[in-house]
Amino acid sequence: MSPTLNIPEKELWSRWVDQREQRAREALIQMHVSWSRLVARDVYLKARIRGAEWADYVQNATVGLIEAIDHYELGRGVDFRTYARHRVRGSVFNGLRHLASASHVRHPQEALAERSSSLAGGESDPLEAFTSWTVGMGIGYLLEVASLEDGRDDVDRGPYATAVREQLSEILKCTLGKLSGREHMVLTLHYFQHVPFVDIASQMQLTKGRISQIHRQAIESMRAHMKTSYSVDAR
């Protein structure tokens, strides 16, 4: 064990923040890494996705911890773990989004990145942001399936599943019809005509960032309407 660990934490912070002493930084990481694992465990129990292992949660929590240590300002009088918790949790959820996006190989990567960026923002709490993102990706998947010419995805699911899919397609079309003009246009162009956000922005004479906001609002509107009118929660 490094002798630096025998130094009081307050002095370690002073050495790192004021002098950028790497040994002090390494000691602070070791001092708080077990705590970051507890934060990762809390996320692990609340949000599990296919393809994500416990080690992924721990790794991303450690990344968030290191970022928090690197950006912590000693003079503000805020307890480090209070400051770091949001960043550590956010790092874990960002890692989950990356893993989930990588598993959606059927989507063009550029379009998926645009949607992920659009759906990831808005909430201050990482769990709420992750939940909104997964809901949005679920509705996006339904829209993609509905946009296929024969109404089918890559798997033959049988007559019952086909009937369910057709019913969902009708619900989606009805819900799309209830959106505002801009929201309807953005979703139609992006999912049914496969137009990238940047080209939609050009057509509508808006910024790409504004198109991203409209996309997010449209997905949220669809979810609320489907849940209220059809008891469908698209997760």
Q: pLDDT tens for residues 162-205?
A: 555 566 667 777 888 888 888 888 888 887 777 788 888 888 88
Contacts for 204 with CB less than 8 Å, ≥ 6 apart: 182, 185, 186, 211
Question: 173 and 181 in contact (C-beta within 8 Å)?
Answer: no
At 68, the amino acid letter reads A
The structure tokens 């809901």 sit at: 135
Give the global pTM.
0.48
What is the rounded distance in angstroms from the CA atom of residue 15 to the CA atom of residue 28? 11
What is the rounded distance in angstroms from the CA atom of residue 121 to the CA atom of residue 134? 12
Measured CA distances, 125 to 61, 66, 86, 91, 122 (Å): 15, 20, 8, 12, 9
Q: What is the 3-state secondary structure (H, E, C) of 91-141?
A: HHHHHHHHHHHHHCCCCCHHHHHHHHHHHHCCCCCHHHHHHHHHHHHHHHH
The residues of the chain scoring below 50 in pLDDT are: 1-3, 104-109, 149-157, 160-161, 232, 235
Q: Can you give the pLDDT at residue 82?
A: 93
Q: Can you give the pLDDT at residue 208?
A: 87
What is the rounded distance in angstroms from the CA atom of residue 96 to the CA atom of residue 46? 12
Q: Can you give the pLDDT at residue 162?
A: 56
Q: Can you give the pLDDT at residue 47?
A: 72
Q: Can you give the pLDDT at residue 166?
A: 66
Question: 96 and 63 in contact (C-beta within 8 Å)?
Answer: no
Handedness of CA 190, 196, 198, 203 (dihedral sign): negative
Walk me through the domains of the chain, giving residue ranges and CATH numbers: 1-103 (1.10.1740.10), 107-235 (1.20.140)
Q: Can you give the pLDDT at residue 151?
A: 43
What is the rounded distance in angstroms from the CA atom of residue 52 to the CA atom of residue 56? 6
Question: 31 and 25 in contact (C-beta within 8 Å)?
Answer: no
Q: Can you give the pLDDT at residue 144?
A: 65
